[in-house]
Amino acid sequence: MPTAAAQQQARRRAIAELLERKKIMRQVELVRLLRDAGFDATQSSVSRDLKDLGVAKLTTGYELPAGDQGPGDDAQALQLIAEFVRELKAAGPHLLVVATAIGAAQRVAVTLDRVAWPEIVGTLSGDDTIFIATAGAAQQRRLVTRLREHLGKATS
């Protein structure tokens, strides 16, 4: 009999495969598809799995994060999230607040984490807001400049 960890990994692989094959708009739909495929799934387990997989809920449905990218792909990855960024706002010398479209903060934060700029110490995202920690005021200013460069229309 498989361990709980093995079952969880198999369920997560199944979730990734389902999301790659079709657009899924609701967790209840994903739970049903997993159960039909023989997986023990509840809404709460699926919710945790989606979070741990870095899945973002967009207006077009759940979407897996982009695969690992090389350094040359940073500009392309940032271009893909530019449409979701609404505002950049400094909040003290170590914190940058990024407002996004509703439901897009996680996707934007994951992309910023993967770009791995040295100015970013860490990110924390909600539904439409991201907090980005920087080591200091100089790193914060540099980050704002870089984000405006890459995101184009990002505001203030």
Go through the domains of the chain in sequence order and give each one's CATH number.
4-63 (1.10.10.10), 71-151 (3.30.1360.40)
Q: pLDDT for 75-118, tens place per residue?
A: 777 888 888 999 999 999 999 999 999 988 988 998 888 888 88
Q: Cα dist. 127→10, 20, 98 in Å?
A: 27, 23, 11
Q: pLDDT for 106-120, tens place per residue?
A: 889 988 888 888 899
Mean pLDDT on 113-129: 89
Dihedral of alpha carbons 19, 25, 30, 36, sign:
negative
| Spatial separation of the C-alpha atoms in residues 60 and 73, rounded to whole Å | 23
φ, ψ of residue 58 to 5 degrees: the values are -110, 175
Q: What pTM does this model have?
A: 0.57
